[in-house]
Amino acid sequence: MPITRTKALLALCLACIVTLSASTPACAQMLARPGWAGFGQRSEVWWKHSIIYEIDPHSFSSEGLHGIAERLNYIHSLGADAILLTHIAPDATHPQSLDPALGTLDDLDNLSREASTRNMRILLDLGTPPAGTDLNSLARLWLNRGLAGFRIADPQQADQLRKITGSYIGERIVIGDLDPSNSHQQPQLLLDPSLTELNQFNAAALRPAVEAILSNSGSLLLATDGPDIPRSAARFGDPQHGLDQGKVLAALLLTNRASSLIYFGQEIGLAAPTMQWGTPIVPTPAHARRPLHPAPANDPVSVAAQDANPASLLSWYRQLSALHHSNQTLESAPATVFDHDAQNVLAWVRKPSDASLRNPAVVVVCNLSAQPAHLSLKDDMQKIHLKGNFLRTLLRSDNGMGPMSLDSMTIPPYTVYIGQLRY
């Protein structure tokens, strides 16, 4: 190519870059840079089968947005693809402002920038903006600062936001907390509150909701907890087994085709409104066999205590989130739910269309009672034409080892077993 033509093309590219830089803040381009999930050519957008971690900055850290930035490694350890911020405005009449108690816009920019280095996006809950709000200006204010999208509770506003976010690069999204029949242009994710409405912890009560969830096409955002409902750790009224029940709910949340919403603190079984970080964990002396000192025994519902315990609810969430992101069968295969209400057991299989030894079905079994559950899944598998006689363990929430026979299996109290069907 002639040198003069090459110089002309370089000059044109430089002019385009300058124009873009002048028209929008540099951070608005943050979501499109190499290294992001969703950059360039991908078969799936980032928000499909994602994990979103919802935070009220007032309750998550005493340091507001800066405190969230300090805890990004913790949030990333939960497999979060995005952080959803709630209640960042000073009041409902000023949705375009940031509560000074949380920090400054520079703090928000820093949070977005630091999150991006961990491949996490920042989303904002707009709720229902008050009448008279200029939604276009409001949305563009936050999108131009690099935020990745919004949650909205009004169907007409959801339609408008979908058009606005669609004009931005970086796969910005809308989460609809609304009845889909009232919205013409569907949001990318539709919040499913069905598990937040349940307060009975038994198979007969949970199975219909689980069947509906497992049959969805993947555009749902599933939640068990949220800011306007009692936390699941307290909702079922069993403090003695609350952490064990939390493991079952985590499995319902993270072993389906839907995207998953983790409300801050539910990963440690939090029943209080404020996040409990606990006593910092310090290394043991070099001669000790245990790598970490646990937090005080009277503070089990804290990050510090559960970080030190590989059998904790927090550790279980981390294991499930890793499986959620890595297992193609859990991500895409359709499900069949079995009726084992009599044993107070929820059980289902995720069956690939080309199920085989190389591409096995995945079975999830949850004992919802305080007693061991004895059951057989042999007839269930035969009815749906699946061959197999045992399950090879992928994950289990107790300390058990080894495979599980389909003919006769025993699931310990409040235990989740996840295995691949083998023969």
CATH code of the domain containing 408: 2.60.40.1180
Q: Is 393 found in the same domain as 309? A: no
Q: How confident is the model at residue 292 (pLDDT cuts 50, 70, 90)?
A: very low
pLDDT of amino acid 236: 87
385 falls within a domain: yes
Q: Is 270 found in the same domain as 366? A: no
pLDDT of amino acid 423: 86
In the chain, the percentage of residues whose pLDDT exceeds 90 is 71
Q: Look at residue 265 and tell me whether its pLDDT is greater than 60.
A: yes
Q: Is 265 found in the same domain as 363? A: no
Q: Is 139 found in the same domain as 56? A: yes
Q: Is 181 found in the same domain as 319? A: yes
Pairwise CA distance, residues 331 & 394, whole Å:
15
249 falls within a domain: yes
Q: In total, how many domains does the chain have? A: 2
30 falls within a domain: no
Q: Look at residue 286 and tell me whether its pLDDT is greater than 50.
A: no
Q: Is 381 found in the same domain as 305? A: no
Instruction: Name the least confident of 161-175, 241-255, 288-302, 385-399.
Output: 288-302
Q: Provide the pairing of β-strand 121-127 with 173-176.
A: unpaired
Pairwise CA distance, residues 29 & 171, whole Å:
11
Q: Look at residue 354 and tell me whether its pLDDT is greater than 60.
A: yes
In terms of pLDDT, which residue wins out, 282 or 331?
A: 331
Contact 143, 28 (CB under 8 A): yes
CATH label of the domain that carries residue 158: 3.20.20.80
* Whole-prediction pTM: 0.87
Q: Is 384 found in the same domain as 316? A: no
Expressed as residue numbers, the domain containing 418 is 334-422
Q: Is 279 found in the same domain as 200? A: yes
1 falls within a domain: no
Per residue in 36-88, pLDDT (tens digit) is 544 444 457 899 999 999 999 999 999 999 999 999 999 999 999 999 999 99
In the chain, the percentage of residues whose pLDDT exceeds 70 is 83
Pairwise CA distance, residues 47 & 57, whole Å:
23
Q: Is 114 found in the same domain as 62? A: yes
- φ, ψ of residue 266 in degrees (nearest 5): -65, -25
Per residue in 357-403, pLDDT (tens digit) is 889 999 999 999 999 999 999 999 999 999 999 999 999 999 899 99
pLDDT of amino acid 195: 93
19 CB contacts (<8 Å, ≥6 apart)? none
